[in-house]
Structure 1
């Protein structure tokens, strides 16, 4: 499943991966893949080539047919809706650049995907590359699917990743800021040695304004502030919760070092182990299981901020806590749902389990949490999960080297319940506050220990 935190991570070098299928090793030549019907997009079997032609009208054509042929509900979609979303985004991009065209309007469409595309392409003519990129983005956004993305891979920056170093905020909800978030907006994680760390920014600092714009408009978080972090320089008005001091800091992107994704652990005393898992990356389940071989009586598994990963890692880790259980279902548009089951080759640990979740727990993290709750394998503490678990995505290569990520199936929980857009509710509400972070308190861990 897609790691869904890229938009909220605030790094220019944010990575986005589809965990089904597992990415192949880097090729020595551009990947070869079987041509799919309709739009000539190709199923991804390796990373995209590092050089490719610019985005063209043909790229948009490929994306259009690729969605209709391969997206979960593509075969049943009205192609007119896709073309409407595409042209709306195309014209908006032109208008922003003062380049609108008097002859550019949506032609009469019939609902026949081939004749409609021919009429649409005639209106576009040779097309404007920047507006065509906007059109593909708008067409995919029109699907309203948190696991459907259009990605244009960029070569790694010389000298390594760059960014501000702010890699977590309190209002994270999968790929956006949480519309249900309550004030204040505060920083939850800063990378050591990053520009933010060097500027004295700490976890718990409250973001009052971004480039002079309030983080909240009334009680609603301002989604537009994310755009400010993409400009290379951002001005933050911050409040330190322990002192009440307010200051303004101008941050410029600089080199950052992202630590590798690994499970970390510590003992909380009295036979309770604490394991933090930042994602369901390849090998994640075995890392967690290895941390629990010292025979603790219980484990607090911290999945806060876990943006997801591989469904295979989910079923393997669940296999350490139960056997013979259906963990979730993957359902096509038509036909029977395919059950996912615990990996019963994993020895049972026999431990009491408390899982810490928050709105940053998305995708595969929600898959795991729903199974724990649905089968009574443990207790959930923290806040409701993100509700960003529409279904695992497959990648499709377009002729400009970009990639469409499209789910073929829909995810349902172990009782066939819909979790996408809703999230998994916790058993005990224990949100983290700015003051908690600033003073080193952890209400989630405290509640977990009280339950154990």
Structure 2
């Protein structure tokens, strides 16, 4: 679990499945730990076939060794990688952690590396000695971060919680992409969703409320995002300063985690003026495509599909839902390091709906949502309205178990759009710009829906 955001803001969206769904950035249920044995202490990383063990040895130098060779052997770009780079990134993160804690070592230097991964690891391990567990965890994090792949992750499963899940109940905020602020975001940051009956709801925190500060730290410094703001979310309770856009009132609330009720992602719908169907799809979870199609059984004149805040899910669901709007189309490509790319295609077993389509997107539309949006735009299946998508999409990831019970998630292929374009880090541009504002949320206006209806 990513503790910082899950504790304070994105309670449900931060859940990470250690069984690695095809697109791992979207909401996914937490796997329950079991008593299954971890990987052999001196063995290599192994594809995970069962939940991690409830108890395992602490992170060790051998855990870092497993992670190093696992990246080189199993990440799609590993075989072509300069094998010196992961070690450099690991030691850089290791020493930073020691310096932060006042525990730096005079003898800790990066040894001369040759590019022979076995001899380089041996020299590196001699420098580390027995290693510092906390710094070793930082080293693995730094090694994975050095891949610059938003679907490559190192996950340390949280222990099972007793009783009901807890959190603040704030499960959506603008300008957020997973556990970080969107580097392209502009102020203000505002709340987009609050769970009913949660501590946040009881404190009268509402969608549209603007976040001025958390524990004295602002989300923006001038017009630039303040990534240090994320660290301010890591404590419990938090002091959150909010501004209500309808009145201008500013207040500070101490918000402590408490019991919350997590609802599984649900497809909702309603009828808009002119006989247009509005369907909101929060994630491409299992069965999502059929749920959307079922909502359109009444043969509306057109459909507005709201994918704003959709964090992703299964590529199979993407292809199935696209099959309701077109047949015989390439939706994306999965490309290995070497060899031919494999095209993904619409699921032509799905009957065509024959409906005009408008898709609402925003910067929270990530992973499988990026994939769906790119396929709609690249194949001229509909019109995109809102803001550019997140640009956080990679190939399906496989989970690998390490000897401390942690899991490496590594994509085996990279993702390209239907025109073989790179979507990751770029996103999919919209045809009509219609962003949601704090005041819109607070007053119930929806510029995306309004623009969609004007198009239809």
Distance 2:450 2:206 in 1: 22
Runs of 4+ in 1 over 3 A off after TM superposition: 5-10, 21-29
Of residues 297, 305, 312, the one that matches 1:308 is 312
1:30 corresponds in structure 2 to 36
Tell me, in whole angstroms, the C-alpha distance in 2 between the residues paired with 1:84 and 1:233.
37
Counterpart of 2:297 in structure 1 is 293
1:66 aligns with 2:70: yes
Question: In 1, are the aligned partners of 2:38 and 2:56 still within 8 Å (CA)?
Answer: no
2:389 to 381, 385, 389: 385
Give 2:322's aligned residue. 318
Residue 60 of structure 1 deviates from its aligned partner by: 0.5
Match of 2:246 in 1: 242
Q: Which residue of 1 aligns with 2:203?
A: 199
Contact 1:147/1:390 (<8 A) preserved:
yes
Offset, 1:146:
0.5
**Larger displacement relative to structure 2 (237-246 or 173-182):** 173-182
Partner of residue 433, structure 1: 437
Tell me whether 1:168 sits opposite 2:184 in the alignment: no
Relative to structure 1, the CA distance from residue 9 to residue 147 in structure 2 (aligned partners, 3 Å threshold; closer, same or farther) is farther
Aligned to 1:263: 267
**Alignment of 1:423 onto 2:427:** yes
Gaps of 5+ in 1: none
1:424-446 CA distances to partner (integer Å, 9 max, x unpaired)?
00011000000000001111111
The more displaced of 314-323 and 257-266 is 257-266
Counting only pairs closer than 5 Å after superposition, residues 175-254 of structure 1 correspond to structure 2 as 175-254=179-258
C-alpha distance in structure 1 between counterparts of 2:317 and 2:9, whole Å: 23
CA distance in 1, matches of 2:54, 2:292: 35
Matched, 1:10 2:10: yes
Contact 2:328 2:345 in 1 (8 A): yes
The 2-side partners of 1:13 and 1:290 are apart by 25
For residues 158 and 232 of structure 1, do their structure 2 counterparts lie closer, same or farther at Cα, with a shift above 3 Å needed? same
Q: Does 1:108 align with 2:112?
A: yes
CA contact (8 A) 1:8 1:176 kept: no
Cα RMSD (Å): 2.2
Which residue of structure 1 aligns with residue 370 of structure 2?
Answer: 366
Q: Which runs of 5+ in 2 are unaligned?
A: none
Structure 2 counterpart SS, 1:335: coil
1:10 offset after TM fit, Å? 3.3
By how many angstroms is 1:370 displaced? 0.5
How much does 1:231 deviate? Answer: 1.4
1:20 to 12, 19, 22: 22
Q: CA offset at residue 195 of structure 1?
A: 1.3
Map Cα deviations across residues 318-350 of structure 1 (whole Å, 9 max, x no partner): 011110000000011111000000000111111
1:334 aligns with 2:352: no
- Residue of structure 2 equivalent to 1:396: 400
TM-superposed CA distance for 1:153, in Å, is: 0.3
**1:226-274 Cα shifts (integer Å, max 9, x gaps):** 1222212211111100000111111112222221112111111322111
User: How far apart are 1:49 and its partner, in Å?
Assistant: 2.0
Q: Distance in 1 between matches of 2:7 and 2:436?
A: 21
The alignment covers a number of residue pairs equal to 445
Q: SS of 1:229's equivalent?
A: helix
CA contact (8 A) 2:207 2:441 kept: yes
Q: Distance in 2 between matches of 1:12 and 1:269?
A: 33
TM-score if structure 1 supplies the norm length?
Answer: 0.94
Going from structure 1 to structure 2, the CA distance change for 1:366 and 1:95 (only over 3 Å counts) comes to: same
Any idea what SS the aligned residue of 1:361 has?
Answer: coil
For 1:307 and 1:111, locate their aligned partners in 2 and report how far apart those are by CA, in whole Å: 38
Q: Which residue of 2 aligns with 1:350?
A: 354
**Which one is further off, 55-64 or 220-229?**
220-229
CA contact (8 A) 1:8 1:226 kept: no
Alignment equivalent of 1:154, drawn from 158, 166, 173? 158
Distance 1:407 1:8 in 2: 29
Shifted more, 137-146 versus 13-22: the winner is: 13-22
1:164 Cα deviation after fit: 1.5
